[in-house]
Amino acid sequence: MTTLITGIGLIGTAFAKLALDRGEQVVFVDSEPREDYLRQKLGDASFDVVRCDVRDLPALISAMQTREVETVVHTAGLIGGRVADPLYTGLQVNILGTMNVCEAVRLTGVKRMVHVSTFGVYDRTQMSEKPITESFPLGGTGAYPASKVANELNVNVYADTYGFELIILRPANVYGVGHFWAGSGGGENMQRLVGAGVRGEKLQMAPIRDFEYIYSKDIGRAVDLAATVPMPEQRAFNVGNGEITTFAELVEAAKTAMPSLEVEVPETDGAPAGIRSPMDLSASKRYLGWEPQYSLVVGLVDYAEDFRASLGL
């Protein structure tokens, strides 16, 4: 069985390690393959890499067809402010790229597509005193959430029209050893914290907004289940840790995980407005058999170990 992964990043490599460990054939598609990062994450495992932009439909079709791909995990795309810099290119990569993946899935007869979305699709302007379920209204402002909402609508229409299996995952802010080329500001801030802790450096860091987090190894396991479980009764699933973490709580967790860490917070008017309601994870547990295994502190301890290894320490 062969699985094609679009994008060489935190989520794709975390899933690929599990797929490779159970004997899956894995092929990565990426416009700028980072062989050093792949080897850092996957070691000497055997996998295939195709240099291909998701905006190139013929290349996607060829990659899927020649390798007889049965499952596609779509993670490729730009994140945060990169989507709007410039906007036309960002929307092309995220929306047209996703449509191309769907069309290639259709044309090559791929059985299942796992689409990695984001918790950013939820319309946070609507009040919620309870954890947010998958039926909460979609929306939000900004190029990134707009592109991800559009993608969810499009992948659903494709699956409804052409009958392939589809599972959508909505991860919280993912953290783990990465390169952050795609624009994950949250992930990059976490790596700044971990990097300073590992090196024993004092870090100057302005407050960041409240977030829900998920460790890369937890999301990797969620993707693995989404790719392999019998098709569930619903398509979309939240994957997070079920908690909102303030900046102060994040710094405290990082200091617990890395006691040598020093964080200096400059005087500001406070952290930007953050999200208030965590995601409800009950559907993921019920239908995928998934729940997070890493608390924030445990995840940061493991992250620090991986980061040390990446530096050869």
Distance CA 128, CA 105 (A): 36
Distance CA 81, CA 9 (A): 17
* 92 located within any domain: yes
* 86 located within any domain: yes
Number of domains in the chain: 1
* 234 located within any domain: yes
* 197 located within any domain: no
In order along its 313 residues, the chain shows pLDDT tens digits of 899 999 999 999 999 999 999 999 999 999 999 989 999 999 999 999 999 999 999 999 999 999 999 999 999 999 988 999 999 999 999 999 999 999 999 999 999 999 999 999 999 888 777 999 999 999 978 999 999 999 999 999 999 999 999 999 999 999 999 888 766 788 889 999 999 999 999 999 989 989 999 999 999 999 999 999 999 999 999 999 999 999 999 999 999 999 999 999 887 766 666 678 999 999 999 999 999 999 999 999 999 999 999 888 7
CATH code for the domain of 45: 3.40.50.720
**Do residues 174 and 10 touch, judged by C-beta distance below 8 A?**
yes
Query: Which is nearest to 284 in space by CA: 217, 235, 220, 214?
Result: 235
The dihedrals phi and psi of 307, each to the nearest 5 degrees, come to -70, -40
**Do residues 189 and 213 touch, judged by C-beta distance below 8 A?**
no
Residue keyed to tokens 């914290």: 193
* 196 located within any domain: no
This prediction's pTM: 0.96
Which residue range forms the structural domain that includes residue 46? 2-176+213-241+277-292
* 267 located within any domain: no
* 263 located within any domain: no
* 308 located within any domain: no
